[in-house]
Amino acid sequence: MGSGPPGSLLLLLLSSLLLVCKNPLLSFIIDTVGLSILPKDNVQSGTEVKIRCDARVSSSNISQLGYLFEFMRDGVEIHTANTTEDSTYYEINPARAVDSGNYQCKVSVKNKRKFSNTKTLDVKGLQTPILHLNNSTPYESEEFKVTCSAPDEKGSLTFNFYKTFRDGQPQRIKKQRSTNNFLETTVTLSHIGDCFLSCDYEISLVSGPTSSNVSNEIQVKVKELNIVPYMTILPNDIYEPDIIEVTCKVQIHLADIEIFLLKDRAVLNRTTGKPLIHRFRPKPTDSGELICKTEWRNVQKENYKTLKVKEVFSKPQLHLEPVDVFEGERFRLHCSVKVFFPQMFDPKTLKYHLYKDGTQLISSATYVAVADRNRNGIYSCKVEGTRISTSFHKESETVTVKAKVPVSDPVLNVVGGKIFVGKGFQLICHSHTGTFPIVYTLFTHNGKKMIRKVSRSEDQATFDVPPIHKTSELKAFLCHASNNPRTPSKTALGQKLLNSTNIIEPTSKPQLTIQPSQDITEGQSMKLVCSVQAGSRPINFTWYQESNGVLASLSTNKLEGYHSMSNAHKKHSGKYYCTSSNPADEPKQSEPVTVEVKMAGWKKALIIVFCFILLLILFLKVLLINTADVFCLPCSATPTMMGKSVWSDHVSGSESDDQNSSTLPEKQAEPEYTEVQIKDADPTKGERKLKKKTHT
């Protein structure tokens, strides 16, 4: 299609190479590349189509050029050609719908290439498919072969098969994809009667899927396959332990037909090519629906019968009393049945057998014993009867006897092992043994009742208890544990908590006392005694002076402590208080006490003596001064005159001072002295000057 033999192409390439080597200065340019579709780009299926590619090249020597043409459809290369001609073509004969698409060609000359424009080829119409059947008269549900083909088409095709009833619309019965232009497959028809089969196909194009016309129609006549089984069960009334016979057969003879007897999807029996007869001794539990099913090739038919086996006596019932038996209690196992048809046999001939763990325990309907671990196990009973000289038996469901363990005496424990008086806490009530569930009931000191139910070993009965205010209140606690309503509960007393629990009581309010008293004399020693009425040991006492802060601290196992202070001084006067604390971590503070440190007695005496001496000195000094003035007066002077001149002035001055002392200013005037001349009785003696103290 536009290209020569491979040998010619090779010779052409070698010639071109030689020419180029002779003329290395060859130059060229690809001007245009054109694509055309002949006879036209829109044709009917089966038309011969040519895709032509033309190259226009300008060159210094056109005869030396070689062309490589590449044809592409929808971007995929479909044909190549090497030639010295500047045009070639790709032939499609005949053109089919699968050849529709967008075409383009690429021209390469040495190291240069150029693409043509794109043109679309649209091939109209699909070949009408042809349908073939290998059997036009199949039985219902029998498989037969159908073939749909389109010999002239190319590519992958998807085939559809249809059935059409008279005066009806086509119904698609199968759809399948093929990599070829035909498909052979199998179909089945379940209806009985005539219908018409046909087919078509689909092809996927770039523009989308396209469907062909419908093929020829072929009439198919589906025949009924009468293989419905006939089924009988004998006898009609069935009592245990009768033997029954079930028969399944078909009216037509087919060598490879299979017959099955089913119950609850289990195959009881099976035959091929002959009737099925099944004999067995059914139990009442076998009552139900029996199914007889036939199968030939791909065709199946079935029939149903209900089997009902009447019980002469019921399945034994084994009863345990009490159901929740505890170790140490008596229990009773009793086996019983109900007789439905006493006329069938004598109920007195029934025999009872009791079994434990598969071993016969006793030949009786009743078993009584005291529960313990050795009697735990799986019990059952079997009842034997005889009818029409045939013995049969029935077994009860098993009963498990596992004696429960009685609850042990409970124990009360405090969570954390500590109780702080005045604060809430948690109590755990626990029994070491006992079958769950166990019900714990706690009675608190204030009469409150709390209940906890424990159903698993990993759980505990934990109670949130309100605060106690006295240690003795623990004695009122009670915990009852019970897992058996038929026996009294076990009890734990709160009294034992006093020995097993660290009870921490906060200290009472402390009292501070001063020894020997609150009136202290300087130099004395004093004790600051801090005491409490109650509180858990150890107790920490701390003493404070309001003006100086902490004085001392003491930890003791007693209810009081003291801090000694020797050689009291005035600075020790003031207010004192103390605090108390213990592991309850609730510090308490006393009322403040005022301490007054008084002056020492010898100091007071010394001050008194000193003041007395000072007053005495002043008195003597005044007395001496006045006495000296008297002795200095002339002897002629009369006492009256002297008294008037000296003493009267002094006295009057003193009185004046006393009277005015309340009105004098804070600073008194300095005393002034006046010179007084006194004539002596002896005129011969000179005048003597006397200084008189006067106050202004």
Eight-state DSSP code of residue 65: -
Strands (E), 456-587: 461-465, 478-482, 490-493, 502-504, 511-515, 519-521, 526-531, 539-545, 549-556, 560-565, 574-581
Domains 229-307 and 511-595 alike in fold:
yes
* Residue 15: predicted pLDDT: 52
For residue 674, name the pLDDT band (cuts at 50, 70, 90).
very low
Q: Say how far apart CA 56 and CA 61 lie, in whole Å.
A: 13
Give domain 511-595's CATH number out of 3.30.2130.10, 2.40.50.100, 1.10.287.70, 2.60.40.10: 2.60.40.10
Average pLDDT, the chain: 84
* Residue 608: predicted pLDDT: 82
Shortest CA distance to 292 belongs to which of 239, 228, 382?
228
For residue 251, name the pLDDT band (cuts at 50, 70, 90).
confident
Which pair of structure tokens corresponds to residue 155? 């590519």
Q: Say how far apart CA 227 and CA 296 lie, in whole Å.
A: 8
pLDDT at 79 over 60: yes
Task: Give the architecture-level CATH label for domain 229-307.
Answer: Sandwich (2.60)
Summarize the confidence of residues 494-498 as an average pLDDT: 84
Query: For a pLDDT cut of 90, what percent of the chain falls above it?
Result: 53
**Domain topology for 410-504:** Immunoglobulin-like (2.60.40)
* Residue 36: predicted pLDDT: 94
Instruction: Decide if 143 contacts 297 (C-beta within 8 A).
Output: yes
- Amino acid letter for position 363: S
The pair phi, psi for residue 360, each rounded to 5°, is -60, 130
Q: Say how far apart CA 325 and CA 463 lie, in whole Å.
A: 30
Has domain 130-222 been given CATH number 3.60.15.10? no
Predicted TM-score (pTM) above 0.85? no
Where b means 16+ CB within 10 Å and e means fewer, 389-417 reads: eeeeebebeebebebbbbbeebebbbeee
Instruction: Decide if 613 contacts 571 (C-beta within 8 A).
Output: no
The β-bridge relationship of strands 418-420 and 502-504 is: parallel
Peptide bond into 583 cis (omega under 30): no
For residue 600, name the pLDDT band (cuts at 50, 70, 90).
low
pLDDT at 252 over 60: yes
- Amino acid letter for position 377: G
Summarize the confidence of residues 248-257 as an average pLDDT: 87
The three-state secondary structure class of 293 is strand
Max mean pLDDT among 42-46, 225-229, 231-235 falls in 231-235
Domain locations in the chain as residue ranges:
28-124, 130-222, 229-307, 317-399, 410-504, 511-595
**Domain topology for 317-399:** Immunoglobulin-like (2.60.40)
For residue 161, name the pLDDT band (cuts at 50, 70, 90).
very high
Which pair of structure tokens corresponds to residue 500? 């097993």
Tens-digit pLDDT profile for residues 332-346: 999 999 988 888 878
Tens-digit pLDDT profile for residues 81-128: 999 888 999 999 888 888 888 999 999 998 899 999 999 999 888 889
Q: For 28-124, CATH number?
A: 2.60.40.10
